[in-house]
Amino acid sequence: MLFNSIDFAIFLPVVFILYWFVINKSLRFQNLLIVAASYLFYGWWDYRFLSLIFFSTLVDYSVGLKLKNESKVSRRKVLLWISILVNLGFLGFFKYYNFFLDNFITAFKFLGTDIKANSLNIILPVGISFYTFQTLSYTIDVYRKKLEPTKDLIAFSAFVSFFPQLVAGPIERATHLLPQFYYKRDFDYSNAVDGMRQILWGLFKKIVIADNCAEFANLIFNNSEAYSGSTLLLGAFFFAFQIYGDFSGYSDIAIGTSRLFGFSLMQNFNFPYFSRDIAEFWRRWHISLSTWFRDYLYIPLGGSRGGIWSKVRNTFVIFIVSGFWHGANWTFIVWGVLNAIYFLPLLLAKKNRSNLEVVAKGKILPSIREFTLMMVTFSLTLIAWVFFRANDISHAYSYLLSMFSVTIFSVPMFLGMKKALLVLVIVMCFLLIEWKGRSCQYAIEKLWVDWHVLLRYTIYSIIIFMIVIFNGSEQEFIYFQF
Amino acid sequence: MKKFIERLLLFTVSLFFVSIFIDSLLSIKIKEIHEYPGEYEVWNDIYSEELDVDVAVYGSSRAWVHINPNQILDSTKLMCYNFGVDGQNFNIQFLRHKEYIERNRPPKMVILSIDVFSLAKAKDLYGLNQFLPYMLWDWDIYQFTRSYNGFSFLDYVLPLVRYKGKSDLLLKLFSNNEDKVRTNGYLGMEEDWNEDFNIAKNKYENFEIQIDPELVDLLEEFIKELKRQNILLTFVYTPEYIEGQDFVKNREHIFEIYNQLANKYDIPFIDYSNSFLSYNKSLFYNASHLNITGSTMFTQVLISDLKKTFSQINNNQH
C-alpha cells in the first residue's frame, strides 16, 4: 500500500479509530492490531512475501530467546550467525542472486571459460533491505547484551512489521522501538497534531517536489545523449530533489503516522542539502542507515581508530557496502566509492567532525563561506547522484562527459520547459521553507505554529491544494526498490 | 482525543468549503481557455443558457470542421450552431444535445453528421479535460462519462479532486489566448494534405469497427425524442476522401444501420461519400476531414440540398 494512495487514506483512519476507540484498553490487543494492520499493509502489495517477514520474525524471536539462556560464547556466536545467515540469505537471494551470477559468468568468460547458467526471474520483495536490517539489529544487540530479549511474540512481530516504517524505514534499532511496544501508549494531542503536520509535509515533499522533479529527471536521463550540458546539469539537479523529496518525504510520513499511534521514530533526514562537507552530509542523509552501518559494521571493523591503512579500508568498506545495499548494480558501488573518496580527505585531516552544529545557527542567512561550502558539497553530491540514477556505468560516464562539455554554458532546452521552470520555482520556495526550519525535526515543525488558527489552517490548505494540483505522474517511492 | 477529533473535523469541514470556493474560481478561469479544438467555448455557450438556434449541427470533428453555420445563416436566415465534438462517438454527442436542450430553446432542425465511428465502442474518454470545469455534481455528465477509463467517482463529487495533477492546465491560465478558436462551433482548417492519411491507412486498413448496441439504442431514442418535439432531423454523411473509404471492413454494415433507422423513422439521409467533393484530394487535409476550401464548398452544396429537403419535408408535413 502506498502512503500517497486512496487505499492508505482509508486504511489509516480505520486503524486509528480501532486503535484508540475500540481496543484502547488492552495493550496486547493494540499490538495485535498493529501486527494485523501491518500485514494487511504489506500484503496489499503481494501477500506471498508475508511469509518472509513471518519467518524472519520467528527466527530472530527464537534466536533471541536462545541467546538469553546461552552463556557459552561459541554457541552464542553460532546462534548469532544463524540469524545473520537467514536474514542476509533471504536478502542475498532476492536482491543479489542475479547480480552475482551475471558477474561470475562475465568474469569466467573474460578468463576464457564459458559457463552456462540462467538467471532467475526473481521479484524483489518490497522493503526487504529495511526490515532485514531492523531484525538483525535486534539479534546483534541481544548478542552484545545491550538488550534483554523479549518473550512477547506479538510485541516482537509488531516491532518487525510496524507498518509506517516497514517498507522504507527509518530502520529502527530494537533498543529504541521494541520497548515502546511494552508500555501502554496514551494519546497525546500535541504529538498527534505534530504527526499530522509531519505527514502533510511528507506528502508535499513526495507528491509536489519528488514526483514533479521525477518527470524531468526521467525525461533527461532517459534521453541524455540528446541534451546539452546545461540540460544534463538540470537533470541531475531534478534528480537530487526527486530522491530527497521522495525518501525524506516517506520518512516524514512514516514518523508522523507513528506519532498518531503514540510511537516515536528516529529522525532520518536532517536537511542534508545544507551540509558544508560530505561528512556532515552523511550525518544528515538517511541517518538510520548510516548509523546502522556505523554501529554494526564500521565500529566493529575498528572505525576511525588505527593507522591510515585501516582508516582507508574501513571508509571504503562502509561506503561500498552502503552503495551495494541500495541495489545490485555497479552504479551503486561506484556511487559508494565516490562518496568514500569525498569523505576520506576529511577523515585523514581529522576534519570529518568539524561541522556538527546546524549551519548559520540563529542567523537568517549563511555567511559567504558557509554558502560556498554548501554549494561545493551539493555539487559533489550532484555528481555522485548521476551514478546513482544512471542505468549503468557507461551511461553515467557519458552523462558526466556531456554535462561537463562546453554546452554547460548554453541555455537548457527540452520538452516541457515551461512546467520545468514552474517546478524549479516551487523547489526554490521549498528550499526557503527548509532553510527557515532547518533547526527542527522537519521544516514546518515550528513554522506558523504561533500564528492565528485561521491563518495556520489557510497555509495548510494551500499545501493540500498544491498536493492535489501538482500531483505528479510518479507514484512509487524510489526506495521501495532497495 | 476529543479536542483532536474536533479540530480535525473543523479543519476538514473548512477545507471542504474552501475547496468549493477554489474549485469554482479555477473552473471559471479554465472555461476561459481558448485552445484547439475549442471545446470549452462550445460548452460555455451551452451552459450560458442564451443560445437561440434554429439549426443545430451534431457530430464529431467531421461536423465542426465541415459545416459552417455562418454560411447557413447567410443563405437561409436561420441561426445555426455547430455542436460537433472532437473525437467523440454518439454518446458524448448526445450528452451535448441533452445539456443544450435542457438549458436553451430547442432548435427547429437538427443536422446529425454521422460517420463510421459514430456508433463505435470507446474505452477511453478522449479529451477529458473539456469536462473538468462543468462536471462537479453534474448528473448528466456523470451518466455519460462514467463508463470510460477517465474519471473516478470522487472526481464527480468532491471539489478539486478532478484537478489532481492538472498543473499543465494551470499553466495554460497564464498563457491564455484571448481569441476564440471556433465561430458558432465551427473551425475551418487552413491545412494542406498531411501525413494523417498514411498513418490512418496503416492503422485502419481492414479495420473492423465494433458497433456498440447501446449507442444504436441511444441513437434511436434520440430520433424518437426529436420526433416527439417536432424537431426536423437530417442524417448527413459528410464528404470522405474516396481512397480512405476502404479502410473500414464493415462500412457497409454500418451504413445499413443508418439506412434502416432513416427508413424506419422517415429521416432524410444525405450521403456525400460519393459526391464529387470526395474525389478531390485538394479539398482535404486528411482522408476524413475537409480543409477550409473544401468545407466552404461542401456547406454550400449542403445548403442547397437542405433547401430541397426542407421543401420535401414541408410538403410532407402539409
Work out the number of other CB atoms within 10 angstroms of the CB of residue B241.
23
User: Do A371 and A459 have their domain in common?
Assistant: yes
Mutation choice for A interface testing from B6, B18, B167 by most A CBs within 10 A = B167
List chain A residues with CB under 8 Å of B164.
468-469, 471
Site of grid cell 422517415? B266
Chain B: give the shortest CA distance to residue A424, in Å: 14
What pLDDT score does A475 carry? 60
Mean local confidence (pLDDT), A83-98: 85
Give the mean pLDDT of chain A: 90
Residue A30 lies in a domain: yes
What pLDDT score does A452 carry? 86
Give the mean pLDDT of chain B: 91
ipTM higher than threshold 0.85: no
User: Do A268 and A362 have their domain in common?
Assistant: yes
User: Do A256 and A404 have their domain in common?
Assistant: yes
Residue A309 lies in a domain: no
Confidence of residue B208 (pLDDT cuts 50, 70, 90): confident
Return the C-alpha cell found at B283: 479539398
Amino acid (1-letter code) at residue B134: Y
CB atoms B15 and A472 under 8 Å: no
Return the C-alpha cell found at B51: 443560445
B130 contact partners, CB below 8 Å, separation of at least 6: B39, B40, B43
List chain A residues with CB under 8 Å of B161.
468
Q: For residues A332 and A385, give the distance between their C-alpha atoms in angstroms, rounded to a whole number.
A: 9
Q: What percent of chain B has pLDDT over 70?
A: 96
Q: Does B157 touch chain A (CB under 8 A)?
A: no
**Hey, which of A105-109, B204-208, B248-252, B300-304 has the most confident mean pLDDT?**
B300-304
What pLDDT score does B176 carry? 67
Exposure string of A150-179, with b = 16+ CB inside 10 Å and e = fewer, is bebebbbbbbbbbbbbbbbbbbbbbeebbe
User: Do A206 and A144 have their domain in common?
Assistant: no
Q: Are strands B109-113 and B80-82 parallel, antiparallel or unpaired?
A: unpaired
Give me the residue from B1, B154, B163 closest to A469, CB to CB: B163
Q: What percent of chain B has pLDDT over 90?
A: 75
Whether A120 shows a pLDDT value over 70: the answer reads no
User: Do A29 and A158 have their domain in common?
Assistant: yes
CB atoms A460 and B14 under 8 Å: no
User: Do A43 and A141 have their domain in common?
Assistant: yes
For B31-69, the pLDDT digits (tens) are 999 989 999 999 999 999 999 999 999 999 999 999 999
- CB-based burial of residue A115 (10 Å sphere; 0-12 exposed, 13-18 middle, 19+ buried)? exposed
The last residue of a domain, from among A185, A202, A221: A185
Q: For residues B11 and A461, give the distance between their C-alpha atoms in angstroms, rounded to a whole number.
A: 9
User: Do A114 and A227 have their domain in common?
Assistant: no
Q: How far is CA A367 from CA A275, A362, A371, A380, A434, in A?
A: 13, 12, 6, 20, 17
User: Do A158 and A199 have their domain in common?
Assistant: no
Q: Does B201 touch chain A (CB under 8 A)?
A: no
For A140-174, the pLDDT digits (tens) are 999 999 999 999 999 999 999 999 998 887 999 99
Return the C-alpha cell found at B87: 473525437
What pLDDT score does B315 carry? 44
Minimal Cα distance from A418: which residue of B?
A: B171
Mean local confidence (pLDDT), B230-238: 95
CB atoms A471 and B164 under 8 Å: yes
DSSP secondary structure letters along A388-419 = HHSSSHHHHHHHHHHHTSGGGGSPP--TTHHH
Confidence of residue A316 (pLDDT cuts 50, 70, 90): very high
- Domain borders along chain B are 2-317
What pLDDT score does A453 carry? 84
For A367-414, the pLDDT digits (tens) are 999 999 999 999 999 999 999 999 999 999 999 999 999 999 999 888
For A331-360, the pLDDT digits (tens) are 999 999 999 999 999 988 888 888 889 998
Cβ–Cβ under 8 Å, residues A274 and A281:
no
**Domain B2-317, architecture per CATH:** 3-Layer(aba) Sandwich (3.40)
The last residue of a domain, from among A166, A185, A204: A185
Chain B: give the shortest CA distance to residue A187, in Å: 7
Minimal Cα distance from B11: which residue of A?
A: A457
**Count of CB pairs separated by less than 8 Å, A with B:** 48
CB atoms B164 and A473 under 8 Å: no
Whether B152 shows a pLDDT value over 70: the answer reads yes
What pLDDT score does B317 carry? 40
What pLDDT score does A110 carry? 78
Mean local confidence (pLDDT), A446-463: 87
CA atoms within 13 A on the CB side of A159: 31
Mutation choice for B interface testing from A455, A465, A467, A474 by most B CBs within 10 A = A465
Q: What percent of chain A has pLDDT over 90?
A: 68
A35 is in which domain, residue-wise? 6-185
Lowest mean pLDDT of A41-45, A79-83, A254-258, B81-85, name the range. Answer: A41-45
Q: What is the pTM of this model?
A: 0.84
Mean local confidence (pLDDT), B166-175: 84
Residue A285 lies in a domain: no
User: Do A157 and A212 have their domain in common?
Assistant: no
Cα radius of gyration (chain B): 21
The last residue of a domain, from among A185, A218, A234: A185
> Would residue A45 be called left, alpha or beta, if left means φ above 0 and alpha means ψ between -120 and 50 degrees?
alpha
Q: Give Cα A408 to chain centroid, integer Å.
A: 31
User: Do A52 and A200 have their domain in common?
Assistant: no
Element housing A4 (H / E): none
**Into how many domains does chain A fold?**
2
User: Do A128 and A236 have their domain in common?
Assistant: no
Q: How far is CA A48 from CA A35, A51, A83, A124, in A?
A: 16, 6, 22, 12
Whether A459 shows a pLDDT value over 60: the answer reads yes
User: Do A174 and A219 have their domain in common?
Assistant: no
Whether A305 shows a pLDDT value over 90: the answer reads no
**Hey, which of A60-74, B158-172, B213-227 has the most confident mean pLDDT?**
B213-227
Q: Does B276 touch chain A (CB under 8 A)?
A: no
CB atoms A187 and B154 under 8 Å: no
Residue A392 lies in a domain: yes
Chain B residues 86-105 with CB within 8 Å of chain A: none
Between B147 and A118, where is the model more confident?
A: B147
